[in-house]
Structure 1
C-alpha cells in the first residue's frame, strides 16, 4: 500500500524516481531523441488503416467471400450519380448538362466505363424526372483526395432546375473534413483547468508537456504496431482523446502529490520520490486497469476491434511510462519553482484571502461528506434512483453504422440519398446482395428470386449474374425501408430464417452486402457484449482487491462503475437515437448508436472510473490506517482528493466533449458517452454514492477473507483532537 508519511527507500519505484530526478538531463534527452525517432518512423512508414470489418462466419461474410473469389471485377468501389431535373431529363438544356457531366466523369483516371441513363431505361423513373447511374472506380482503395474533385465538380454543376450529386462510401469519405482543431481545443481547455487548480503556469505546463510527448510517441508506435494488428481509421482520433485525457490526469495526480510534499517541508528530491511511490504507484495500477479493460475487446472476436484494443493500450502504456520517468525529470528541473509564474497579486490581503478560500474549499468537501454520512441510506437511494432513470433509455438502444441518410444536409452524399429515395425508394441505398455457389445442374435461381421478390418489405429484385467461371451467382434485392430503419434488419432476419430455407434452391444462398454486414456486426456485438463486460469486471476486481485489500470496496467500485456507464449509455441513446438536444450537440438527425461505440467506450470508462476509485480509496485507506475510523477516513480522504479528482474529471470531460466539434458522427457519439460517464462518476458517484455506501458498510468496508482488518497506527493527540472537532 502507499504509506502516507514517507516513501519506501528500498522500493523499485523509489529507485526509479531518484534516478530520473538525479539524471534528469539524460532522461529528458533520451525522451526527446526517442520521441523524434519513433515519430519519424511511425508517421512516415506506419501501417495504413484497415476499415474492412468483414470476415467471420456470418451470412454476409460468406457472401462477401464468394463475391471476392468469383467476381474479381466487382472488387472496386463505386460512386452513384443521382440526377433530378424539374423539367425532366429529356429537356434539351437538362440533357446537355447531364451528358456533359457524364463525359467529364468518364475522363477521370480513377473512373471506369460510365453507363448513360439515356441508354438504359431501368436507370430512369417513369416520369423521367429522376435518374441514376453507377460509376465504377478502377481501384479497390481510392484516396479520397482523388474523389473530392469529382464530388465538387458534380455539385457545382447543379443549377437551372437540375440537381446533380455523387453518393457512395467514397463520396462520403471525400466530403468528410479532417478532425480539425478539436484536440487543440481540448488542450487549451485542459490548460485553463490546470491553471485554475494549480494557480501556476509551471505546474500547469508539466502535465500538458508530459502528455503531449507521450501521445506523439504513442501514436507513432500505434502506427507501427498496425503492421501486426491492423486497426480502423477512427482509432487515431480515439487514441488521441484517451491518451490526452489519461496522460494529463496521471501527471496531474503526481504533481499534486509533489506540491503537497513540498508544502509539508520535504526537499524537492524527497518530494519527487514520495510522489512517485504514492501517486505514481496508483498511476501504474490505474493505467494497468485501463489497459486490461481495453484488452477485453479481444473477447469480441473481431479482428479490427482487437487492433483498436492493442493500439489504444499502447497509448495508455506510453503515458504511464512518461508519468513515472519523464515527469520526475521535469520535477528535478523545476524544484521549488513549481509554483512559479503565478498571476500577480495586488496585495498580501488578497493572498491571505486566497489561502482562506482554499481552506474553505477543503472544509466544504469535508462538510459535504459529513452531510451525506448523516443520511447515508437516503443519499444512496436518491443517487441510485437518478442513475437508474438516466440508464433507462439504454434498454431501447439500436446499433447500426452512419450512412448518407444521417450526414449533414449540405453534403452531396445526403443530396444523392434524398434524390434516390424519392425516385427509387429509401431502400435503394441499402441493397441486399444474395450470393451462392452454382454448377452441377444448379443454375436456376428463379424460384429463389421469386420468393425474395414476394417477401413483404422487398421493393424489387434484379436478375441474377453468373460469374465468368460459372461457379457462383449473385442477385440484388432492394428493401422498401432504408439503411437505418429497424424494419430493414427485421427483413434480413426474416429472409434468412423463413424465406430462403423454404424456397426451392434457397439452401446455400447467403444474404450479404454492406447493409446486411452492418446488421450482422450489430447482432454479433449485442451477443458478445455481456461476455466482454463480465471479463473486464472480473479481471478488474482481482486487481482492485490486490491493491486496496478489500473485497467489499472492490465490489462497491464495480457496481458503481456499472451504474455510471449504464447512465452514460442511457444519455447517449436519448441524445443520438431519440434526438434530445441532438441538433445542438452536432447530430444532424436521429440515428442508431454506431456499432462499435458501446463495446469501445465500456472498457475505457470502466478503466477510467477505476482510476478515480484508486486515487480516492488510496487516500481513504491511508487515513483509516492512521485513525481507525471509517467516517473520518472518508471525509478526510475526500477533502484531500476532491480538488484533484474534480480537476482531473473536468479535464477528461473537456477533452472528450471536444469530439463534438469534429465531423465523424461515430467518434462524436463515443466522445459524448465518455464525457457524460466521467461527469456522472465525478459527481453522483464520488460525491454521493461512495461516502453514503462506505458509511452504511462501516467496518465491513475492509473485509478480506482470511485477513484481519488493516492495522491502525496511533495518531498523535493533536491530530485526534483535530479530527474530533471536524
Structure 2
C-alpha cells in the first residue's frame, strides 16, 4: 500500500472528526430524525401514481376525451367469468352462479350487477361460458375491500363450475405483499459480511447503517411524492438499491478503517483516513448513481421522473449515512471492531509460512498475471462472451403485464382463461375508439364498419354519443391477446391505414389500456437512446474529473455498456424466450415489462461505476508509485478483489431476493440487475479490465494537454487511495 498521508484539514476530515467525537449526538440525531421522517412519510406520504398515460399519443388523446365527455366510464370494474361443464342452465350450476352474483351485488363497494341469465350477449352460443361486469362504486376501493370478493368467487368453484374474478383491482387485491424478500437479502448480506470480515461487530455496522438509511430514505421519498408522484414499484426498487449501495458503501469505508488500524493508526485517525479516502470515493460513486438515475428524466414520462427522484432521494440518504452515521458507530467500537471474531488459522499480517501477507502474491494477483501474458486472447474471449450473452436483446419486446402472465392459481388468471376460451383472447385487450362530434345525431357507422371488417378484429360494438353530444365512442376486440405482437401490429394498421381511409375516420383516436401500453412501450423505445446518451455523457465527465484519464473513462463506459447489454440479453432469454423461466419463478413466457430496461440502465451504469472507481483508484495509486502499468493493474486488482467481490456478492444476494416475491416486473428487474453485477464482477473486472489496460499500456493515462505521470510516491503526486484517484 502506498504510504500516502490523506489530508486531515479538509471538509471531509473535519466532518469525520466531528462525527467521531460527537458520536452520541450524531447517533441520537439520526435515530430521532429517522423516526420523525418515518412517522411523517409512512403516515402522511403521498399515494402512489401508476398512471403511464399522457403526452401526444393516440391513446392519451382518447383517454382525455373519455375523461371529459364520458365521466360514467371512469369507475373501475370487475369481471366475473363463468364456465359450467354442463352449461350454465344446469340447475345445480345455476344455483351456484346466482348465489355468487347475489353476493357480489350485495357488496357495499359494488354497483348493480347484470345477470348473464338476463342478457344473452353475456353468454356463448353453447351456453357453457358466461361473463358479467361488476362496477365498483368506490373509486378508492382498497385491496382489503376487494380481496373478500375475490376469495368468495374462488372458493365457489367446484362441481363442474369454474369461476374467476378479473380486472385490475382484482389483480392487485390477490397479489400478496412482497413478503420477507428484503429480510432474506439482509440475512444473505450479513453472512457475506461475516465471511469477509470474520467479526460479528464488523458485520453488523454496514447492516445497521444501511437499514437506517433505507428506512429514512424511503420515508423521505414518500414525502417528496407530494411534489413528484411516483408509481408503487418505486418503493421496492428504492429498497433494493438503497440496501445494496448502503451496505456496500459502509463496507468500503469499514475495510479502509480496518486497514488503517492494522497499519498502527488509532481509531480516530483511522476513521478520518477512511472517510477522507474511501468516504470520498463513496460520495463520488453515489453521485454517479444519482446522476444516472436522474437521466430517467430525459425519458419525458412523469412516471419515470417520479422513479428517478424517489430512488435518488434514497441513494442520497445512504451516502450521507456512510460519511456521518458510520463514523459515529466507529467512535463507539474503536479497536473492538474485530470483536466476536470467526476463528482463523492465520492472521492477516503473516501467512502460515511467516511471510507478510502484503508481500505475498494473492490468487487474484496470480490470475491477473495469466491474463496479462495473453491480453489480446483474453480480451477477445471476454468480449465475445459478452456479445453472445447480449445477442438475444435484438428480439426484446416491451409490454406491461396483464392477467395472462399472472400465476395460474390466481382468480384473475382463471378469469382470463375462461374469457379467452369463450369470447376470444382479445376480450382482455379491447380497443376504445373515441372522437369529437358535432351533435348527438352524429353517425360513426362507416368508421365502425371499416374497423369491423379489418383483418384481426373479432367484433366491434355500435358507437354511442356522450350525454353532452360532443364526443362518441365504440369498442373493438382483437382476435389476439394483450401480449401478442400481432395486437400491436393491428393497432398500427388501424391508425395508419384503416381510419384515415374510412369516411369520418379523421380525428378518431384509438385508446384503451391495450393501446396505452403499446404507446408507452414505443415512447420508451424512442426515448431510450437519449436517456442512455445523457447518462453516459454525464458519467464520463464525472469519471474523467476523478481519474484524470480520457482513456480509462471511455474504457469504463464501453465495458459498462457490454455488461448491461449482457444482462438485457439474459433477461430476454429467460423471461421472453422462457429458458429456465419457470425455474426462477416466472409463470409463463412474457415480454419484458416496459419500464424495466430503462430503469435497469441508469442503475447498473451507476453501480458499475462504483466498482470502476474502487478498482481504478488503486491501480492509479500503484501507477503513480511505480510507473509500471502491468504491476499497477496486478496490485490494484489484488487489493480490491476481496472487497469488490464481497460488495458484488451482497448486491447479487439482495437483487435475487426479488425472485421470491409475487410481482413479475420486480422479478425481472431483480434478475437483470443480479446478472449484470455478476458479469461486471467477473468477466469485466477480472478479465476485460486487466486485458484492455495491458494492451493500452501508458495510453491508459492519456489526458489532453497533460504528459503521462512519472513514477513517484503517491504522497508527492498528491494522490491518496480511493479518494484522490
Compute the TM-score of the two structures, normalised by the length of structure 2. Answer: 0.96
Which range moved further: 332-341 or 483-492? Answer: 332-341
The whole-number CA distance in structure 2 between the counterparts of 1:349 and 1:620 is: 22
Equivalent residue, structure 2, for 1:124:
123
Distance in 2 between residues matched to 1:341 and 1:162, nearest whole Å? 62
> Unaligned stretches of 5+ in structure 2?
716-725
Structural mapping, 1:505-524, within 5 Å: 505-524=504-523
Give runs of aligned pairs for residues 96-175 of structure 1, distance below 5 A: 96-175=95-174
| Counterpart residue number, 2:488 | 489
Hey, what's the Cα distance between the residues in 1 that align with 2:138 and 2:153?
20
2:338 aligns to what?
A: 339
Q: CA deviation at 1:345?
A: 6.0
| Alignment pair present for 1:29 and 2:50 | no
Within 1, Cα distance between the matches of 2:360 and 2:346? 21
Change (3 A) 1:346 1:629: closer
Q: What does the per-residue CA deviation read over 1:410-462, in whole Å, with 9 as the maximum and x for residues that have no partner?
A: 11001101100100000001000001111158711100000000101000001
Q: Contact between 1:206 and 1:327, CA under 8 Å: does it hold in 2? A: yes
Q: Helix, strand or coil for the counterpart of 1:469? A: coil
Cα distance in 1 for partners of 2:378, 2:320 equals 39
Give yes or no for contact 2:349–2:357 (8 Å, CA) kept in 1: no
Q: Deviations over 1:637-657 (max 9, x none)?
A: 011100000000000000000
Instruction: Work out whether 1:575 is the aligned partner of 2:574.
Output: yes
List structure 1 segments (4+ residues) > 4 angstroms apart after TM superposition.
344-362
C-alpha contact (below 8 Å) 1:3/1:278 kept by paired residues: no
| SS at structure 2 position matched to 1:83 | strand
Q: CA offsets per residue over residues 247-287 of structure 1, 9 Å max, x none?
A: 00000000001111111111111111111111111000000
Calculate the aligned-residue CA RMSD, in Å.
Answer: 1.9
- Where does residue 314 of structure 1 map in the other structure? 313
Shift of residue 347 of structure 1? 10
Q: Deviations over 1:490-523 (max 9, x none)?
A: 0001000000000000011100000000000000
In 1, are the aligned partners of 2:164 and 2:412 still within 8 Å (CA)?
Answer: yes
Moved more, 661-670 or 332-341: 332-341
Distance 1:429 1:64 in 2: 18
* Structure 1: tracts of 5 or more residues without a match: 717-726
- Alignment check: 8 A CA contact 1:362 1:640 kept: no
Q: Are 2:57 and 1:43 aligned?
A: no
1:724 counterpart residue number: none
Corresponding residue for residue 464 of structure 1: 463
Q: 2:17 maps to what in 1?
A: 18
Query: Residue in 1 aligned with 2:598?
Result: 599
For 1:475 and 1:361, the matched residues in 2 are separated by 77
SS at match of 2:458: strand
291 and 3 in structure 1: CA distance in 2 versus 1, 3 angstrom threshold: farther
Q: 2:211 & 2:148 partners in 1: Cα distance?
A: 35
Conservation of the 8 A alpha-carbon contact between 2:350 and 2:356:
no
Q: In the alignment, what sits opposite 1:183? A: 182
CA shift for structure 1 position 141: 2.8
- Return closer, same or farther for 1:715/1:77 CA change in 2, 3 Å cut-off: closer
Whether 2:76 is the aligned partner of 1:82: answer no
- SS where residue 418 of structure 2 aligns? helix
Say if 2:124 and 2:422, in contact at 8 Å, map to a contact too: yes
Question: 2:91, 2:356 → 1: CA distance?
Answer: 78
1:712 aligns with 2:711: yes
Post-superposition Cα deviations, 1:56-86, rounded to whole Å, max 9, x if no partner, equal 1110000000001011111110100000011
Q: CA deviation at 1:332?
A: 1.0
Distance between the aligned counterparts of 1:135 and 1:4, measured in 2?
74
Secondary structure at the aligned position of 1:584 is classed as helix
> For 2:230, what is the secondary structure of its paired residue?
coil
The structure-2 alpha-carbon separation of the partners of 1:197 and 1:215, relative to structure 1 and needing over 3 Å to count, comes to same
Distance 1:589 1:460 in 2: 28
Shift of 1:356: 8.1
Match of 1:691 in 2: 690
The SS at the match of 1:79 is: strand
Q: 2:668 — aligned with what?
A: 669
* Matching of residue 59 in structure 1 with residue 63 in structure 2: no
